[in-house]
Structure 1
Amino acid sequence: MIEAVWIAFAFLMGLATRQVGLPPLIGYLGAGFALSALGTQVGVGPEDSEILSHIAHLGVLLLLFTVGLKLKVKNLVRPEVIGGSLLHFGLSTGLLLAGLLYFLELPLGEATLLAMALSFSSTVLAAKVLESKRELRAFHGRVAIGVLIMQDLIALVAISVASGKSPSAWALLVLILPLSKPLLFKLLDMSGHEELMILLGLLLALVVGGAGFEALGLSSELGALAFGALMAGHKRAGELSQSLWSLKEIFLVGFFLQIGLGGLPDMHAVVFALVLTLLLPLKALLFFFLFVGFKLRARSAFLSSLTLANYSEFGLIMASLVLPQWLIPLALTVAFSFLLSAPLNRIVHSVYERLSPYLLPFERNIRHPDEQPITLGDAQILVMGLGRTGRAAYDNLFEQGFNVIALDSDPVAVDASLQAGRRALFADAEDQVFWQNLDMPNIHSVILAMNDAEAKTIAVQKLRSRGFDGLIVSHAMYEDIARRIIRAGADHTYLTMSEAGAGLAEHVARSARERASLLSETAGPNAASNNS
């Protein structure tokens, strides 16, 4: 029956936080603390915590596997990723170490491990936030995930060293993993589109990646991530990720419940967590200036920094192994950072809009890696977004003879469209500098086919504010979003599902009319022949 208690608490607390505009994961954390407070009154015992811990671990492995499915190795080998993560780790660990030694008078070894645990950012939260906004492949999303992977690798090394464990001699076998890619791709091709594909994902994430890496003395988290990255090049990697979505979400509820079940904090733990939460802006600022130093523009640096402005679940893993006396204070610190970071990341684009005048002067006056296009040349129609809707709109207009150009914030989507023969450029509709520098002299119509509703609203506002009086058409999943886009200045919005249904009906009606006409023509000669 304890599973029923977990589900009931998680649902009620998640629903409550959702009603006040906070992400449900904050409610799951609260449910964990509530279960910890009630304890034996609801029948939560040590053996139940072990079960939940196992479920939570599976959720983290599945999350990292699905993150890996969206990764490209070339995106990690970038100066801002390697340099930003290493420099931030060194600087933040040094500053935190000085503060811990001065204010808490901890032993040097303990203070060093604690400072390292606090220097990491949450892979789980950042990946979940970016995924919910569909920004994992956007430039700032790839930078943030790259930094998190570097941090995770550092954390795994630190945990191994601090716990006295060392990899097995067989760990060198992971170096030949890339050779298994053809076999893995073949298995995915053979698995079809139903339950076998889901089982293959679970096999790779939990068994081969998770348990396999643990058997070699390596981190199961690293194994899940590695096998996800191996599968990222397959054309059905996105389908595999989508098939694991629901399982991953359910198991991750266990992760957030587990944090709260770590125990109830005392006043010292609360003060410690509050002070560390107040230091989060400094963590974000350090990331921002490092990213700007590595040639990122202010917007990309700001969005990546806010994504990383939290504390990590790896700190809890480190505490459970080598700092057990700090587990509850760190759990509360992580919870507080989630409470601040999660809702802030939901409105991060609006926050940037307000702060951009103060952030733009920090940009370096050189070519940036994520530089936006300046002119759209002789194009007549602009399609923003290269998902299925955007590609279909582009291809249809191109076949009708229009001069079309497309923009997308996902470099992978841009590359795929370029290979397919489309004119496509990398750009982000929510970037203020992009709109200020954009020259579109011949554009008379714009189609907004991005996934994010906020991006479409901002794009409409920016187009109208710069004096564009041409046609702006958008699609939307829901009526309230469609109304918001119209209020921003769009000419028309089309509800995706309604239009799909209307299209199907029109197709059937056209076929029925053609069939009736054909039967009528056939019946005519026959009737004439009979009369004669």
Structure 2
Amino acid sequence: MSEAIWITFAFFLGLLVKAFGLPPLIGYLAAGFLLSGLAGFTPLVVEGTDALAHIAHLGVLLLLFTVGLKLKLKSVVSPEVIGGSLIHFGITCLVFTPGIHFLAGLDWKTSLLLAIALSFSSTVLAAKVLETKRELRAFHGRVAIGILIMQDLVALVVMSVAAGKTPSQWALLVFGLPLLRPLLYRLLDASGHDELLVLLGLLLALVIGGLGFEAVGLSSELGALIFGAMLANHPRAQELSKSLWSVKEIFLVGFFLQIGIGGLPDGNGLLFALVAALVLPLKGILFFFLLLLFRLRARSSFLTSLSLTNYSEFGLIVASVALPQWLVPLAIAVALSFIFSAPLNRLAHPLYERLAHRLAPLESKRRHPDEQPVSLGGTRVLVMGMGRTGTAAYDRLAEEEPDLMGLDSDPAKAEKHAAEGRNVVFADAEDTTFWEGLYMPKLEGVILAMNDIEGKLIAARMLRKKGFSGYVVAHTGYADEAEKIREAGADEAFLTMSETGVALASHLADRRSPLTGEVPADGYPVQ
């Protein structure tokens, strides 16, 4: 019965919060607090909290496993990621620790652990925001995810130290785990695409990684992360991560419910949460200037720092191990940071356009290698966005157009296309700095094939603003978006599914005999 009450409250409060454009997990926290308040009227709402605690722990393990699946060395081994994350962590701890100690009157150890918990940014919120805007693979998205992974690793070290567990002699077997990678790859290949894939993820994260590491005296969280990281370079790692996404999110609902059911904080705890929310902008400002020091452009630094201007659910996980008495105040601080961060991230690009004239002069004269400006030279036709649609358009045009170029905001994708013989270079169409220095003397036509609507609108507007009078065409999935793209300056915007249907019909029509209407013998049988 208590499970039914938990689910009902979590769903409706999550739905209510989502209606205001905020992350549903704020609603789950609120549901927990409300259930805690109702506990005096009916014991049903708090029955079975041991089961809820177990569900919450499973959610944490799955979260760490999916973080491990993204843990590729290339994503973290760069100066801006390693330097930016560690320097920010160090400065935050140096500033917050004495501040908490003297203002809150806490001992130095507690002050340091609270400062560490507040130094992390939310992997869940940032990943969701970047994924929604199709920016996970953009340069600023990759930098943000890299920094978040570094923070997650730091959090894991802190949790392991705080737990104070003594490993057994069998823990040395962990060093032999890389030998299992070929076997894990074979299991992943053999699991197919359905429920076996999900079960494999649960087996590795919860059983072998979680219980297995606990059995030898190591952290179950560490085990989940390591087994995820062992599969990170497999071609299907992203598919496995997506298959576990919903399961992980459901279990994490239990984590936030459990925090709320723990009860509301006292006055000092609420004051702590409010002060933490007030100093949150300093976190983003510090990230912005650190990234500028690593030669990122003002735009990339701004978008990355905005993604990281929040407190983290990992801070709550650290607190659940090291500072359980501070878990609820920290949870309120995290919820307030999400309320602040979520709307700002939705307005990130228009906000930067307004502030660009103030922020751009702050950037370094020397450019980051991934942010070098692009010259179109003698290009006559430009394809912006080299995903499946853009690549198909490029290959079709390459048959008759020698002066052809493709642009993509993912450097790895641009390098892959270049290795395959296509004239594709890195450039972010949403970067106003790119457009300011763009010279396109011979350009005649542009195809807008980016994934997100915002990129197409910005590109269409900037092309017309620079005086381009050639043909601009785009594709989109929705009629209202097509109208917006035309209003922004495109000559035409076609609906993707409609054009696919037309193309399929054309292929069939081309195979039919124009004289008899018969299908050729090597084609489809005549009915």
TM-score, normalization: structure 1? 0.89
Partner of 2:281: 281
Partner of 2:404: 404
The residue type paired with residue 7 of structure 2 is I
Alignment CA distance shift 1:167-1:347 (3 Å) = farther
Partner of 2:336: 336
Mapped to 2, the partners of 1:519 and 1:126 lie a distance apart of 53
Mapped to 2, the partners of 1:220 and 1:410 lie a distance apart of 35
1:376 counterpart = 2:376: yes
How far the C-alpha of 1:71 sits from its partner, in A, is: 4.3
How far the C-alpha of 1:239 sits from its partner, in A, is: 3.1
Partner of 2:525: none
CA contact (8 A) 2:383 2:405 kept: yes
The residue type paired with residue 507 of structure 2 is H
> Equivalent residues in 2 for 1:507-526 (5 A)?
507-511=507-511, 517-518=517-518
1:211 counterpart = 2:215: no
CA contact (8 A) 2:168 2:217 kept: yes
Partner of 2:349: 349
Alignment CA distance shift 1:455-1:322 (3 Å) = same
- 3-state secondary structure, aligned to 1:158: helix
CA contact (8 A) 1:80 1:294 kept: yes
> Bigger CA drift: 399-408 or 298-307?
399-408
CA contact (8 A) 1:382 1:443 kept: yes
CA contact (8 A) 2:511 2:520 kept: no
The residue type paired with residue 415 of structure 2 is D
How far the C-alpha of 1:225 sits from its partner, in A, is: 3.7
The residue type paired with residue 318 of structure 1 is V
Mapped to 2, the partners of 1:412 and 1:103 lie a distance apart of 47
> Equivalent residues in 2 for 1:53-452 (5 A)?
53-452=53-452
Alignment CA distance shift 1:462-1:230 (3 Å) = farther
RMSD: 2.7
CA deviations on 1:415-458 (whole Å, 9 max, x unpaired) are 32223222221221211111112223322222222222212212
1:489 counterpart = 2:489: yes
Mapped to 2, the partners of 1:519 and 1:455 lie a distance apart of 43
Mapped to 2, the partners of 1:500 and 1:418 lie a distance apart of 27
How far the C-alpha of 1:42 sits from its partner, in A, is: 6.5
CA contact (8 A) 1:373 1:425 kept: no
Alignment CA distance shift 1:184-1:279 (3 Å) = same
Mapped to 2, the partners of 1:514 and 1:170 lie a distance apart of 76
- 3-state secondary structure, aligned to 1:475: strand
The residue type paired with residue 107 of structure 1 is D
> Bigger CA drift: 310-319 or 162-171?
162-171
Unaligned runs of 5+ in 2: 522-527
Mapped to 2, the partners of 1:469 and 1:168 lie a distance apart of 72
How far the C-alpha of 1:103 sits from its partner, in A, is: 1.3
How far the C-alpha of 1:283 sits from its partner, in A, is: 0.8
Alignment CA distance shift 1:71-1:101 (3 Å) = closer
Alignment CA distance shift 1:463-1:278 (3 Å) = same
CA deviations on 1:21-69 (whole Å, 9 max, x unpaired) are 3343433333333333333657555554333333344344434444444
CA contact (8 A) 1:67 1:127 kept: no
Alignment CA distance shift 1:18-1:44 (3 Å) = same
How far the C-alpha of 1:95 sits from its partner, in A, is: 0.9
- 3-state secondary structure, aligned to 2:407: strand
How far the C-alpha of 1:483 sits from its partner, in A, is: 2.2
CA contact (8 A) 1:5 1:42 kept: no
Mapped to 2, the partners of 1:520 and 1:145 lie a distance apart of 53
Mapped to 2, the partners of 1:209 and 1:50 lie a distance apart of 22
How far the C-alpha of 1:393 sits from its partner, in A, is: 1.5
Mapped to 1, the partners of 2:194 and 2:403 lie a distance apart of 40
The residue type paired with residue 465 of structure 1 is K
The residue type paired with residue 416 of structure 2 is A
How far the C-alpha of 1:474 sits from its partner, in A, is: 1.6
TM-score, normalization: structure 2? 0.90
CA contact (8 A) 2:386 2:407 kept: yes
Mapped to 1, the partners of 2:60 and 2:501 lie a distance apart of 38
CA contact (8 A) 2:296 2:367 kept: no
What percent of counterpart residues are identical?
A: 62
The residue type paired with residue 93 of structure 2 is T
The residue type paired with residue 479 of structure 1 is A
CA contact (8 A) 2:46 2:261 kept: no
How far the C-alpha of 1:510 sits from its partner, in A, is: 4.3
Alignment CA distance shift 1:402-1:194 (3 Å) = farther
The residue type paired with residue 287 of structure 1 is F
The residue type paired with residue 478 of structure 1 is Y
- 3-state secondary structure, aligned to 2:235: coil
CA contact (8 A) 2:123 2:312 kept: yes
How far the C-alpha of 1:92 sits from its partner, in A, is: 0.9
The residue type paired with residue 477 of structure 2 is M
The residue type paired with residue 130 of structure 2 is L
- 3-state secondary structure, aligned to 1:517: coil
CA deviations on 1:168-218 (whole Å, 9 max, x unpaired) are 454454444444333333222222333323322333333333434444444
Mapped to 2, the partners of 1:232 and 1:352 lie a distance apart of 33
CA contact (8 A) 2:259 2:327 kept: no
> Bigger CA drift: 272-281 or 244-253?
244-253
The residue type paired with residue 497 of structure 1 is M
Unaligned runs of 5+ in 1: 522-532
How far the C-alpha of 1:219 sits from its partner, in A, is: 4.0
Partner of 2:11: 11
> Bigger CA drift: 474-483 or 507-516?
507-516
Mapped to 1, the partners of 2:436 and 2:51 lie a distance apart of 54
